[in-house]
Structure formats: C-alpha cells, structure tokens
Chain A
Amino acid sequence: MKRLPTSVRWQVFLRSFAIQGSWNYRTLQGSGFAYALMPVLRWVYSDTERLQDAVIRHSTLFNAHPYLAGIALGAVARMEMDGEDPALIERFKTALRGSLGTLGDRIVWAGWRPACVLLGLVVLLSTSSAFMGVTSFLIVYNAGHLRLRWWALRIGFDGGRQVGELLRDAPLTRWHGFVVTTAAFLLGTALPLIAAGALTENRLDLPWLALPAAAAVAGWFMGTAARLPALVLLAVVTIAGFLVHVVS
C-alpha cells in the first residue's frame, strides 16, 4: 500500500479549512472538495489528462459538515491512491455525505458550539472580564474543533472505503451525551444571570425579576420559536421609545 507523504497530508488538512470557500447552490461544497483534495490528486496522477478527469469527478455535488468533511477527503484520497473504480468512489461519496452532515450538525452545531458559547457567557457574566469570557470560549472550542478536524482526516486516510466501520466504533455519541449535559448545566447557570439584568447596567430587583423568569418559562415551552416574539418585543419597545418622544 502506498503511503501519502506527510507534506501532502498537511496540505489537505490546511485546505480543508477552506472547503466552503466557494459554497454555492448548485454543487454546494463540490468545488471546495476538489480544492482540498487537489494535492492528493496531483500526487496520484502525474498524467495531466487523468488529473483533469479526476478534478471533474471531484468537483461535482458534495456537502458535509465542514469539520467532518475530512473523513470523506481522507477516505477518497485513500481510494484514489488504491486505484479504486471512479464509479465506486462517486457512490461512496454520495453515501457518506448525508451522514457526515447529520452527524456534524448534531455533535458540533447543536452540541459542542452552544456548550462552549454558554461557557464563555457564564465566565463573562460572573467575572465581568471580556478577555476571560472570549478566551475561555475560543480556547476550549478550538481545542475540540482542531482535534476533530485532524481526527476526521486521519480516520479517513486510515479507513479508506472501510471508514464507516471506524466511524461506528468512534466514541462520538458518548462524547456528545457528556457535552449536552454540560451545556444544560451552563444554560441553567446563564439564565438567572441574564434574567437579573447582568447584560445591562440596570440590575433588576425581585418584583421585576418575575417577568424575565416568566419569559424564560414561556421560552422553554416555545423552543426555538421563542425567537420571533422576542425580536418583535425588542422592535416594539424601540419604536415605542421614539413614539413617546414624539407624543411628549
């Protein structure tokens, strides 16, 4: 089995940060996938004609979570190196892209990211230090982010077309369970601080505090649909402030 040079692996890793650079509604991440895979394709195909064919094949429709796209990049790189049938590689990419999108959305966008944001908010609101709040968020978040990207590319390279088995054995679900439990604790911590007015200079006293507490209960039952009435409330109070000036 041929081994990919370390420099090529690093190039693919660095280019994977720009996989969404030309995101569009026709091929989604397609051209970004070709861009990130290019160092491998150039290494595998010394013949220009075959390289162009490979570029065309890999710039078609593709989409995945950007952090987990490395799994597909690594696996496809391995398959290209092993000389697999292009039709098989295309079917493999099609099969993989949906699950990588769903998995990444669940563990990163709906788990890791909000958990780290809530950590940053709690640190900010409890220490009143902007530096502490932001650095705690950026360091913790990106430690997980960079680790995940590197892991994704590595298991892709190692697994090739068998990467699904490595993915099944990965502890992502267990890790996600721990992350969302931590996020729930941090959300619970942030809510009373925000309800008490920690985000403005006007700290709310007990009678007024009942209103944000009621709003939080209403928000709990409404779920993400609570955003619209909240935005309407902000707009109404803003407009009311100007109207009161006009009337008075």
Chain B
Amino acid sequence: MTWIALITLGGIVALDATSLGQLMLSRPFVAATFAGALVGMPLEGALVGALLEALSLGILPVGAARYPDTGTGAVAAVGTLGLSGVQPTAPALLLVVVYGLLWQRIAGASVVGGRYLNERLVRAGRPGERPRLDRLIEHRHLESIVIDMARGVAITSVALLGALVLPFALNRWALPGIAAALAISLATAAVLAGTAPLFADSRRARLALAAGLVFGSLLAMSL
C-alpha cells in the first residue's frame, strides 16, 4: 500500500510541477515531506527535502529552459529511504540525496520527451479535423495532462526499486559519518549562498541579509 501511495504521490508531484496547478506540491521540500509522512518518517523526509531544496533553489523555470524535475526526485529519494528500512544517518542521507539528484535529472529528461510528445499530439489536432476543433483541442490537452501524470508514476515506480539496493550500498560505504555530514553542509551552504545575488541586489537587502546572518547564528547556537 505504501508503495502505491508513493507512486501516486510521484504522479501528483509530476503534474503539479508544470501541467496542472503549480501549487508547489512539487517543491522538493514539500514532496519529500509528504513522501516521508507516507513511510512514517516525516521529519527525516523534510530534512532530505530541505537538502534537495537548498540545492535547487537557484534553478528558475524560465521560458523553454530545461531543468531537473526536482519533486519526483525528492519522492524517489525519501521513498527509497523509507522503504529500505535503513536508519536516517548522515551517510544514508548523503546516498539518498545523491540518488534523488540522479532521478531529478532522469525525470527532467522525461519532461523534455513529454513536451515533444505534446507537440505531436497538438499538431495532430489540426486542419483535417475541423468540424469540432474546440472539442479536439480540449481532448488533446487533457490527454497531455494524463500522460504527464503517468510519466511521474512510471519514473517513481522504477526509482523506488532503489530501496532494494540502499542497505547493500550503505554496508559498503566506509567513510565516517562526519565526512557525509560535512559534504552535505559544504554543498548546501555554497549553493544556498550562491542564490544571494537573486535577493541581495540593493543596500537594504544586503543589510537584511547581514541581520539574518546574525539572527541565524544566534538561533543555531541556541538550538
């Protein structure tokens, strides 16, 4: 049942990314938390999602740009972690984050494939079928949406097979936990700081950033 719930979530998340809604259920942070709730580890899911979120915050879906499908990758990462039954230690988080990043790329490539398919679908609904072109356009449009959901379901189904491999891989990963934690902190801190130019483009924003750094440091010391 959990597996079915996860692949359904994968389909919903794939839809939300572009085709329908864009309510941001497809943000890695949200998708991973929902996936975590389904496998009984919402906090761990949220933390993996936060990691993937930090790594993808600077990706902007501008125009016809090709970008990774971050939500589907997040469901794959957390679903794999939960179904595998391994403890969410720093090495396990590192492995599932890398696994999630890989599936973000694969799912992103499938989005491009889906768009070429849409092109053929929409082109098929042209002059020859003129009598009720309005109905045809609606039909083809809804068909494209269903295909996009099926794409998400298929990608998630295959990605979750990683749960069979994760315990085996974790037993063969031999660096100390601090190395994994440090790699995660270094990578996320660098990428997150790299998004600063998006916001800190004025004196007022730079002051706000500095105030945030002080506040965040105090918060980090108090937790």
Contact = CB atoms under 8 A, between A and B. Distances in A.
Q: Does chain A bind chain B?
A: yes
Interface of A: 17-18, 20-28, 30-32, 34-35, 38, 41-42, 48, 51-52, 55-56, 59, 63, 66-67, 101, 105, 109-110, 113-118, 120-122, 124-126, 128-131, 133-134, 137-138, 141-142, 145, 177, 180-202, 204, 208, 211-213, 215-220, 222-227, 229-231, 233-235, 237-238, 240-242, 244-246, 248
A132 to B, nearest CB: 10
Contacts of A26: 119, 122-123
A27 B137 CA distance: 13
B194 A193 contact: no
A120 B57 CA distance: 13
Contacts of A230: 55, 186-188, 190-191
Given A188-B213, A204-B182, A23 B115 contact: yes
A216 B30 contact: no
A181 B204 CA distance: 7
A63 B88 CA distance: 43
B144 A22 contact: yes
Contact of A219 (B36, B125, B191, B216): B191
A23 B182 contact: no
29 contacts: A26-B119, A41-B134, A52-B130, A66-B22, A110-B60, A117-B29, A121-B50, A121-B54, A124-B47, A180-B201, A182-B208, A183-B198, A188-B212, A189-B213, A192-B216, A195-B185, A195-B189, A202-B90, A211-B182, A211-B186, A215-B185, A215-B190, A218-B193, A222-B194, A227-B59, A230-B55, A238-B173, A241-B175, A245-B173
Interface stretch (B5-13, B93-101, B150-158): B93-101
A36 B145 CA distance: 14
A124 B30 CA distance: 11
Given A55-B137, A201-B89, A208-B182, A114 B198 contact: yes
Counting chain B CB atoms within 10 Å of each CB, the highest count among A23, A63, A200, A231 belongs to A200
Size class of B's contact patch?
35 or more
B128 interface: no
Interface string B1-43: 0000000000000000011111111010110011011000011
Interface of B: 18-25, 27, 29-30, 33-34, 36-37, 42-43, 45-47, 50-51, 53-55, 57-64, 88-91, 93-95, 97-98, 101, 115-116, 118-119, 121-123, 125, 130-134, 137-138, 140-142, 144-145, 148, 169, 172-175, 177-202, 204-206, 208-217, 219-220, 223
